[in-house]
Amino acid sequence: MHNIRKPPTMADVAHRAGVSPMTVSRAFKREASVSRETREAVLRAADELGYVFDSTASNLRSQRTDFIAVTIPSINNANFADTVRALSDGVSERGLQILLGYTNYDVQEEERLVEQLLRRKPEAIVVTGGKHTPRTRKLLTNAGIPVIETWDLPEEPIGHVVGFSNAQAVREMVDHFVAVGYRNIAFIGGDASRDTRGADRRAGFIAAMKDHGLDAPRLIAAGPPPISMREGANAMGQLLERFPDTDAVICVSDLSAYGAITECQRRGIAVPEKIAIGGFGDYEIGAICVPSLTTINAFASEIGGKTAKLILDVLDGKLGEPGRVTIRPDLILRQSSL
């Protein structure tokens, strides 16, 4: 009964509904002016034919894709996932869809990814972090669409920014630790070469220590980012052996911090009595583990939500010049520190 038919087009729907293709097109748009009856007739015809709207043609002709391109370092990170979720929810109300890619914490990979994403002609592009290869910067600058850098406060932003200072956030934790009496404070992070946010946190740690007149020799690099719980635990082991007088540790993330806590538990070292531990990111585990974890809430969801709002404003032409939204992370004190 059916030959290998091509899928129906708007023309087919138009024919069946007794209208022009142009009217079918309008019937599929929310705001377009079509009479109620006509729209219903068109949608009914479309349904009967099993018509599926073809975005590829729409994208080309209208020069709009309704894509928002997003790059994150890793898809397996609850912080970035929170940001993406809030961003996605925020823009989806306007029919915008996230086109997501991950860079593996590698600026070269970011370059490839950004180029690939820009070919899809997104309405805007959101990148995590403010450090890029020269070619990435050039691509983003010339893309002709809004560019939003997040999770960082770049000194020379490409366009818009929704972020916070990783260094400053860690500084506040150091200030607190010093205020309550810790002196031999260590820092556990990943190899600094790749994860720029992690490097900023470590730099903030060192600078803050210096400002308190303290040296910062206790630096453990636990491997290529992201640092897992396991790597955090291993780093804690190293730390305890190399610097037995350490009285507090700040970890680059809650995950590594939790790993560090468990390593102390396995070694029978009391947290926080013998050693205090701080994390970063306010992951769920930090609130529920025993002892609970002192950490920094960087408001990952807010970053996504405010990025979404920024994008909508820019696309609406409500924003003349590049926006700069600064988030102020919160120090959350819990049982793992005094």
Partner DNA sequence: TACTTGGCTGGTAACGATAACATGGACGAA
Partner DNA sequence: TTCGTCCATGTTATCGTTACCAGCCAAGTA
Residues in contact with DNA by CB under 7 A are 6-7, 9-11, 18-26, 28-29, 33-35, 37-39, 53-54, 57-58, 60-64
Q: Select 70 or 178, whichever has its Cβ closest to its own copies.
A: 70
Provide, rounded to whole angstroms, the least separation between the CB of residue 46 and DNA: 9
**For residue 140, how far is the Cα from the chain centroid?**
18
CA distance 37 to 34: 8
By the 8 A CB rule, do 87 and 126 touch?
yes
Q: Select 65 or 307, whichever has its Cβ closest to DNA.
A: 65
Q: Select 19 or 229, whichever has its Cβ closest to its own copies.
A: 229
**For residue 198, how far is the Cα from the chain centroid?**
14
38 binds, among its own copies, DNA, none (CB under 5 to 8 A by kind): DNA
Provide, rounded to whole angstroms, the least separation between the CB of residue 50 and DNA: 12
CA distance 223 to 189: 8
Residue numbers of the site for its own copies (CB under 8 A)?
7, 50, 52-57, 59-60, 63, 65, 75-76, 78, 81-82, 84-85, 88, 97-102, 115-116, 118-121, 139, 142-144, 228-230, 233, 255, 258-259, 262, 265-266, 284-285, 287-290
Q: Select 97 or 104, whichever has its Cβ closest to DNA.
A: 97
By the 8 A CB rule, do 127 and 159 touch?
no
- The pair of three-digit structure tokens given for residue 79, joined into one six-digit string: 């912080």
Provide, rounded to whole angstroms, the least separation between the CB of residue 55 and its own copies: 5
207 binds, among its own copies, DNA, none (CB under 5 to 8 A by kind): none
Provide, rounded to whole angstroms, the least separation between the CB of residue 94 and DNA: 15
Provide, rounded to whole angstroms, the least separation between the CB of residue 67 and its own copies: 9
User: What does each C-alpha distance from 280 to 62, 236, 258 come to in angstroms?
Assistant: 44, 16, 10
11 binds, among its own copies, DNA, none (CB under 5 to 8 A by kind): DNA
Provide, rounded to whole angstroms, the least separation between the CB of residue 263 and its own copies: 9
50 binds, among DNA, its own copies, none (CB under 5 to 8 A by kind): its own copies
Q: Select 213 or 317, whichever has its Cβ closest to its own copies.
A: 317
3-state helix, strand, coil in the chain (%, to 5): 45, 15, 40
β-strand partners of 219: 187
Provide, rounded to whole angstroms, the least separation between the CB of residue 105 and DNA: 31
- The pair of three-digit structure tokens given for residue 23, joined into one six-digit string: 């009217």
Q: Select 61 or 318, whichever has its Cβ closest to DNA.
A: 61
Using DSSP's 3-state secondary structure scheme, residue 169 falls into helix
Looking up tokens 């099993």 gives 50
Q: Which helix (H) or strand (E) holds 170?
A: helix 166-179
- The pair of three-digit structure tokens given for residue 332, joined into one six-digit string: 């959350």
Q: Residue 322, preceding bond cis, omega within 30 degrees? A: no
